[in-house]
Structure 1
Amino acid sequence: MFQSFDVRTDPAQGIERVALLRARLQEMKVDGFLVPRADEHQGEYVAACSERLQWLTGFTGSAGAALILRDRAILFVDGRYTLQVRAQVDGGTFQIESLVENPPVRWLEANGRDLKIAFDPWLHTIAEVRAYEAAGIDLHPTRNLVDEIWTDRPAAPLGKVEIQPHGFSGVLAKDKIAALSETLAKQDATHAVLTDPASIAWAFNIRGSDVAHTPLALGFAILCANERPKLFISREKLTIETDAYLTQLADVLDPSALEDGLARIAALGGRISLDPALAAEQLQMIIEENGGTVLDLPDPARLPRATKNQAELDGSRAAHRRDGAAVTRFLFWLDQQQPGSIDEIKAVQALEQFRVMVGEETQMKLRDISFDTISGAGPNGAIIHYRVTTDTNRVLGDGELFLIDSGGQYQDGTTDITRTIAVGEPTREMCERYTLVLKGLIGVSTLRFPRGTRGMDIDPIARQALWSAGLEYAHGTGHGVGSFLAVHEGPQRIAKTGTGKLLPGMIISNEPGYYKEGAYGIRLENLIVVQEATDIPGGDMQMHSFETLTLAPFDRRLIRPELLSGAELAWLNSYHARVVQEIGPMLDDEALAWLEKAAAPISALG
């Protein structure tokens, strides 16, 4: 099994560990220390040795930060985790604040401008530090104080590196590197530091296994405008084959050589590109202390990585057909179970097994799940990023909703799909709100939009039906997805804060939801890809559109057809017909018969 369920955190440890950290503050004569949920690469998914926030507080979410002061401790989390944090963290030790509405910088601006705050410059981006400085916060870079008290901290990962074949990558690594070097020259930069392991994986056509569920090899790279790049990665991660492959592309060096190497480049007058939103403050400090010039420029690999080429798109389509077959087999199996007969963990295990089976049948095996499956029955479904454990495991009860958000990592693509299923007879309210969420998904799916449209421009379309009913959800509508890479990829996103333009080839999720605390959660998610602009008959300009990649039926028992327009019903029926056509051949007779019934056309009268 790829997912572990024995995930235990002890809120009672928080007070003891905070006390140890406060002793360090006293020794250093500082008033506080910032503990972000981050590593040196600023990734969402981090290795066990970088889970400092979890170790200190008990909170296991993928985003958050703690501010430990001498007289109080504040934990900042976003809207996805407001329920989860109550169960995992000692409320007597930690004051909970919103990471979005009142982040640490804003809290300190209002309450702690006279405080001396220590921070590890490897764990905060250049942009973050500038925001603190602009707010007048007295920051002091230092060694990591959590590491000094975390006596059983795990070792750094040494997962093996593999080569991503040209058939899946679509472009040779040497050609990608040449294009990136050309970009640097045009920007008048001599070098660029790649800090995001996903960008390194994409540029060098490699994948790794240092981080759970995301095929990344942790390391850094320095790209050069006029010479070979330098790749800083432990050779313990390389086989004879991968070592020979990478040595042809770059000078391969140990990560411990990064700081000295960067200092030498700076001392020679290097004009070095750093992405302020991704690069650690420590890198800027090294460059400036050694006489180099920092250029504020985006990661040069980020947009090319996000705008998938034809091979990557074809691979994603194939991966979604197989994944859709696995999810549909699971939905058929689930429909045969009696309410109260299975629990959240058994559902996760069954779905994972169906993915494994389809992979074996098609010779494109499941390499991993793309994230820990969110399997929420009844009130657990209202916890947006709920993770089932042996302690929280709940039976799927009669008259409840079951939300399952999952994905697979295949060598040709990464998937992410959410379906909400009725267990027994749903209530009228459940059906109404499910249909409102479905309307939001369809609204985004059918949208036509001009060049230059941003994710924030599209986000209200997914929420419109819910807003009309006085309802809302506390998360973005869509995140970017990589190609056998991270299931959450930037810069593309559909959200209130999604300022990046949506460009052809970008894969993004479409996942509106609704959550009723203590009762149920609803989320529906398909992955979509931005298509090239085309003419619309009678129109004045070309328009982009979305192609839906995900293929699995929605639960018709929860759909109220009278709430859907004719155009929405037409899209739904067309989508279901496509699901049958594309994944039907991968189902046995019983599952196919079930799918044909589940995906049968719905009329306005139901």
Structure 2
Amino acid sequence: MFQSFDTTASPEQGPPRLAALRAALSAAGVDVFLVPRADAHQGEYVAPCDERLAWLTGFTGSAGFAAVTPERAGLFVDGRYRAQARGQVDAKSFEIVNWPETGLAKWLKEALPDGGRVGYDPWLHTRGEIDKLNDALEGGDIITLPCDNLVDSIWHDRPGPPTGAITAYPDDLAGETSAQKRARLAEALREAGARCAVLTLTDSIAWLLNIRGADIPRNPVPHAFAILHDDATVDLFVNAAKLDALPPSCTRDGVRAHDDAGFAAALAELEGPVRLDRSSVPVAVVKILTDAGIARDFGAEPCVLPKARKNAAQLDATRAAHLRDGAAVCEALAWLDAQEPGSVSEIGVVTELEARRRARGEELGGELLDISFDTISGSGPNGALAHYRVSEDSNRTMQEGDLLVLDSGGQYLDGTTDITRTLPIGDPGADERAAFTRVLQGMIAISRLRWPRGLSGRDIDAIARYPLWLADQDYAHGTGHGIGVYLCVHEGPQRISRASEVPLEPGMILSNEPGYYREGAFGIRIENILAVQEAAPLGTGDGVTQLCFETLNYVPIDRRLIDVDQLSADERDWLDDYHADCLEKIGPLLEGDAAAWLERNARPL
């Protein structure tokens, strides 16, 4: 099993660790210390040595941060994680702060009415993040101050840095060699007047060099820093333990590998202007360059958008991965449907699904290399936790009337998959069916959408929410995230979200996953994966170039939860067509009970 079911939250350890951190505050001469979830690479998922927020608070969600003063400690989480945080954190020690409704600056002003010094580790916070905080604090007596990491000073059994192997990624699956990518990006740097660019995002480095790693659970990326020069060469900085086993592509053809202990010194020797992205570059990098008198060029990190625009080879590969994956999911759902209520646990579903993915990968020539995130198998009230992780302690046996939110994915060499289905255990209630149908309507609306080129995720996010809004309902997460190709399952910068200003472009892959969550009762989410493509002209308009989505995964949507009378004729037609595609594309990969299950569940409404 890739997934484990250990209980990772330790609320009882929060108070003594908080006391130790407060003692360190005094010794460091700061009044507040910020504890982010992020590491120096600003990844959503972090290695064990970087799980400072979880170690201090007990909160294991993938987004959030804490601010600690001698008297107060705030854990800042958004709507996806508030219920989870309340269950994992010692409420007497940490206050759960509703973020972003309450910003850090506002909280600091209340906690430090007479002013004070806010300490932070400059390797763990971006220049953009600290600039924004300083702007919000301007005019008061609160200042921010880079300092040593105070959590590290009290975390005496902290794990060492990861040393996972770096491997080559096939050029035919990448659709382009590393040298071709570097030449293309170097030309853009020269045109912008930059001599080099500092790369700190692990998936950017993996994409650029056609390599993969094993340093972050579920994400095949290496811990690394890199400098891309305007002559298309790259200096790569990795843990010294990895240097002797690097693939040849990292030690030739213009790529020079170094011990990451020399990264800071190398920065100080650069010739500017140096391209830096405020949204991802650590404050420490900016300070090193500033202190050395090196000119800086703030702009977009050069790999981010090219990585997001998948080429034809990547799209073909990920289509194949999703078909294999869809067959495995259909087999698991057929198995689940054959079980009686009260006979299967959440862990049982996770175990069965992973086994089906492994078997299907072996049979169809696409080995399951990992899961793309810990499978969310949340039944009943657990389903109302958007990012629920089942453990031995939380595991429920599913009962008659429960809904099961099953959100899962696989990491294959040719693609990263992600799919969510909500399933009834026994007969669903009318309220659950009505809410499910609204979520389905939003999901269908995004799937059918055509839009003028130039719109971003924030321009279309509301379309998925409209059916829920009509019922005074909503969900506290974005409608969709970007997805890599055998890279991170959550990839930026593309998103379908109120916060996203990045225009959607052909080749971008995104999820489409509206939901609804009733705390203490049930959750609903339906997710397909989409690729942006140019829309065929209709011949009825004014010639405006439009984009649309191609659906990449095919697993029937449970008809037992659909109130067909709520659907319009167009919505019914879309669903019937989608199910016909499921039968056509997945049917040849199934046999026996699974094939019969697909036939039943893919029939027209």
TM-score, scaled relative to structure 1:
0.97
Which ranges of structure 1 fall in alignment gaps of 5 or more residues?
A: none
Counterparts of 1:417 and 1:77, CA distance in 2: 25
Residue pair 1:445, 1:548 contacting (<8 A) in 2 also: yes
The structure 2 residue matched to 1:355, chosen from 354, 357, 360, is 357
Using the TM superposition, name which of 524-533 and 245-254 deviates more. 245-254
| Alpha-carbon distance in structure 2 between the residues aligned to 1:396 and 1:478 | 28
- Cα deviation for residue 498 of structure 1 reads 1.4
Would the alpha carbon gap of residues 110 and 535 (structure 1) be closer, same or farther in structure 2, given more than 3 Å must change?
farther
Find the counterpart in structure 2 of residue 124 from structure 1.
125
Q: How do 1:3-402 residues align onto structure 2 when only pairs under 5 Å count?
A: 3-112=3-112, 114-134=115-135, 135-136=137-138, 137-226=142-231, 228-237=233-242, 240=245, 242-243=247-248, 245-265=250-270, 268=271, 270-402=272-404
Q: Secondary structure at the match of 1:380?
A: helix
C-alpha displacement of 1:550: 1.2
| TM-score between both structures, scaled by the size of structure 2 | 0.97
Residue 534 of structure 1 aligns to a residue in which SS?
Answer: coil
**Structure-2 separation of matches of 1:52 and 1:245:** 31
What secondary structure is seen at the aligned counterpart in 2 of 1:230?
strand
1:571 aligns with 2:574: yes
Contact 2:209 2:250 in 1 (8 A): no
CA distance in 2, matches of 1:169, 1:112: 51
**Letter aligned with residue 578 of structure 1:** D
Partner of 2:558: 555
Distance in 2, matches of 1:472 and 1:286, equals 45
CA-CA distance at 1:110 after TM superposition: 4.9
Between the aligned residues of both structures, percent identity stands at 49
Would you say the 8 A contact 2:163–2:215 is kept in 1?
yes
Contact 2:34 2:119 in 1 (8 A): yes
CA distance in 2 between partners of 1:450 and 1:246 (Å)? 44
2:527 is aligned with 1:544 = no
- Match of residue 584 from structure 1: 587
Task: After TM superposition, give the deviation of residue 241 of structure 1 in Å.
Answer: 6.3
Please give the secondary structure, in 2, of the residue aligned with 1:342.
Answer: coil
For residues 440-497 of structure 1, give each alpha carbon's deviation from its aligned partner in whole angstroms, at most 9, with x where no partner exists. Answer: 0000000000010110110111000000111111110000000100000011001111
CA distance in 1, matches of 2:538, 2:554: 26
Residue 111 (structure 1) shift: 4.3
Please provide the CA RMSD for this pair: 1.2
Offset of 1:27 from its aligned partner?
Answer: 1.1
SS for the counterpart of 1:396 is coil
Match of 1:458 in 2: 460
Comparing 310-319 with 527-536, which one deviates more in the overlay? 527-536
String of CA shifts for 1:484-528, please: whole Å, max 9, x gaps: 000000110011111111100000000000011111000000000
The alpha-carbon deviation at position 235 of structure 1 amounts to 4.8
Shift of 1:590: 2.1
Unaligned runs of 5+ residues in structure 2 are none
Q: Cα offset for 1:234?
A: 2.6
The aligned counterpart of 1:595 is 598
SS at match of 1:367: strand
**Residues 164, 215 of structure 2: 8 Å contact kept:** yes
User: How many aligned positions are there?
Assistant: 599
Aligned equivalents of 2:466, 2:509: Cα separation in 1: 23
Large movers: runs of 4+ above 4 Å: 238-241
Structure 1: distance between partners of 2:330 and 2:254 = 43
- Match for 1:9: what amino acid? A
Once residues 112 and 194 of structure 2 are traced to their aligned partners in structure 1, the CA distance between those partners, rounded to angstroms, is 38
Residue in structure 1 matching 2:520, options 506, 510, 518: 518
Q: Secondary structure at the match of 2:348?
A: helix
Helix, strand or coil at the partner of 1:251: strand
Q: Which amino acid aligns with 2:130?
A: V
Are the aligned partners of 1:410 and 1:484 in contact in 2 as well (CA < 8 Å)? Answer: yes
User: Is the CA contact 2:457–2:503 (under 8 Å) kept in the aligned structure 1?
Assistant: yes
Counterpart of 1:550 in 2: which secondary structure?
coil
